[in-house]
């Protein structure tokens, strides 16, 4: 389980600037729980592949995290990792994963792992560098892109397939390439387990008050200058609007135009 934040700006900006003081304070308080790693990916200008940095360290007190939050770019993705029980805390398991000019960050858990792995081609299995369901999810998207689909359609097709096979999984994800930010908001039936809730309890006083309210929700807002930001519960604040449920939204870097595809429609078309 993790926290997500992203933005697409008409000009170069930073995650720190888009979050503001209150947003950064919330992000750092969340990092006390989601302390199993952090990552950042950013595109300096449309047409450039994303640069990325990820670490298995907590973001709290990490100078590299602070530097990433001030990195100027047109679009960026930020991820705070709270490792799924049983998965190791290693740099290779930190998000965002990057390959083939794409960066990918996921908030959720897709189980059983072996069922998910069985969906991958042998080439994709051989390409895995870590042990997470998230990296497998990313590999499935890259398989579709390699077959010629655009990133938005590829992500939607994979999310629709996974929703059918794993009805309780949170598939929430941020996918960034040189042209667009793709946001998967697919967690309508996902809940925190009793084990997860017990892990939350000791930090209740330092987490944002809304952190547990619809934990898997993703919200967005558009600023006066046209910047579009997306954030998890606890990162997104007052005035943010819920993204369409069980959908995949593309935000183009060049002009911030938005298009949304529903998982149900995608499944009906390709199922």
Tens digit of each residue's pLDDT (9 = 90 or more) over 12-61 = 999 999 999 988 888 888 777 666 789 999 999 999 999 999 998 888 88
Q: Give the C-alpha separation, 127 to 99, whole Å.
A: 10
Phi first, then psi: give them for residue 262, nearest 5 degrees: -90, 140
Please report, for residues 8, 43, 77, 90, 147, the alpha-carbon distance to residue 58 in angstroms, rounded to integers and kept in the order given.
25, 23, 17, 11, 37
Among 26, 61, 1, residue whose Cα is nearest residue 18? 26
DSSP letter at 245?
T
The neighbouring-strand residues paired with 51 are 42
Phi first, then psi: give them for residue 101, nearest 5 degrees: 75, 20
For 15-53, give the secondary structure using H, E and C.
Answer: HHHHHHHHHHHHHHHHCCCCCCCEEEEEECCCCCCCEEE
Phi-psi region of 108 (alpha: psi -120 to 50; beta: other; left: phi over 0): left
Q: What is the mean pLDDT of residues 111-134?
A: 96
Tens digit of each residue's pLDDT (9 = 90 or more) over 167-220 = 999 999 999 999 999 999 999 887 655 555 555 545 455 444 554 446 778 999
For 263, the enclosing helix (H) or strand (E) is helix 263-270
Residues 261 and 248 sit within 8 Å (Cβ to Cβ): yes
Q: 258-266 long-range CB contacts below 8 Å, 24 or more apart?
A: 258/228, 259/152, 261/152, 261/153, 261/156, 263/156, 263/159, 263/160, 263/163, 263/186, 264/160, 266/156, 266/157, 266/159, 266/160
The pLDDT, as a whole number, for residue 207 is: 47
* pTM for the whole structure: 0.90
Task: Kindly list the structural domains of the chain, giving each domain's residue range(s) and its CATH number in brackets, ordered by start.
Answer: 2-270 (3.60.20.10)
Q: Give the C-alpha separation, 190 to 206, whole Å.
A: 24
């Amino acid at each position: 389980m993790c926290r997500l934040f992203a933005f697409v700006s008409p000009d170069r900006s930073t995650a720190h600037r888009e979050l503001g003081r209150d947003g950064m304070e919330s992000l750092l308080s969340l990092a006390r729980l989601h302390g199993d790693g952090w990552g950042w990916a950013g595109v300096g200008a449309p047409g450039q592949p994303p640069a990325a940095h990820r670490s298995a360290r907590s973001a709290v007190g990490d100078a590299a995290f602070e530097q990433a939050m001030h990195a100027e770019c047109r679009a960026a993705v930020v991820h705070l990792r709270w490792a799924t029980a049983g998965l190791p805390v290693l740099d290779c398991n930190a998000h965002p994963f990057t390959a083939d000019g794409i960066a990918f960050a996921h908030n959720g858990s897709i189980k059983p792992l072996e069922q998910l792995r069985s969906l991958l081609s042998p080439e994709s299995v051989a390409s895995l560098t870590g042990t997470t369901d998230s990296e497998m999810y990313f590999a499935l998207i890259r398989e579709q892109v390699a077959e010629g689909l655009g990133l938005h359609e590829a992500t939607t097709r994979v999310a629709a397939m996974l929703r059918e096979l794993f009805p309780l999984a949170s598939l929430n994800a941020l996918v960034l390439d040189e042209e667009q930010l793709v946001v998967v908001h697919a967690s309508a039936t996902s809940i925190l387990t009793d084990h997860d809730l017990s892990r939350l309890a000791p930090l209740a006083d330092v987490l944002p008050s809304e952190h547990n309210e619809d934990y898997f929700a993703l919200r967005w807002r558009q600023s006066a200058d046209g910047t579009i930001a997306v954030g998890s519960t606890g990162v997104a604040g007052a005035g943010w609007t819920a993204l369409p449920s069980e959908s995949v939204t593309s935000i183009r870097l060049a002009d911030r135009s938005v298009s949304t595809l529903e998982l149900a429609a995608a499944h009906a078309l390709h199922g």
